[in-house]
Structure 1
């Protein structure tokens, strides 16, 4: 295993935690804007419709994937700038 990959592991873990928190905050704001409700529906909430639950899940997944990709990419680019090698 390359040294840059080993050195990037703790950075990647920290970035993963940061991206999860950021994505969660973005999803809450997006749901308030689009869902007209304070909280996203839970899949087992019998008072919510199928479409509400599935739209919330799809929106949450898209936001989490987009934020994770952006943060991972930024971390890899920064690692290359600092070390001269790509961490992947």
Structure 2
């Protein structure tokens, strides 16, 4: 459906969805963090630590830190989209209105 064909979401639907969006975002962040740690353990270069490095780790090279950051960002972005879209779809089924737009 194009934006011009879409029906505008009511203000009440947006307000009612706000707590759902906040809770699902928090849960999504926790899930994304767990997924990233598991993926890092499998995908990390052999010389990298088993725990994901951060920018201030002195014993970890810049390339490894950048790899970890890029992987973490990609995983968080995908999980966020899945959580946001799933929450909006569930809200629409419950209320009959799409919470965005």
Q: Say whether the fold is shared (TM-score over 0.5).
A: yes
Gaps of 5+ in 1: none
Q: Which runs of 4+ in 1 moved over 4 A?
A: none
Alpha-carbon displacement from aligned partner over 1:40-73 (angstroms, at most 9, x marks no partner): 1121112111110000000000000100000000
**TM-score, normalization: structure 1?**
0.95
Gaps of 5+ in 2: 1-9
**TM-score, normalization: structure 2?**
0.83
What is the aligned residue count? Answer: 88
More helix as a share of residues: 1
Structure whose alpha-carbon radius of gyration is higher: 2
Residue 17 of structure 1: SS of its match in structure 2?
helix
Residue 56 of structure 1: SS of its match in structure 2?
helix
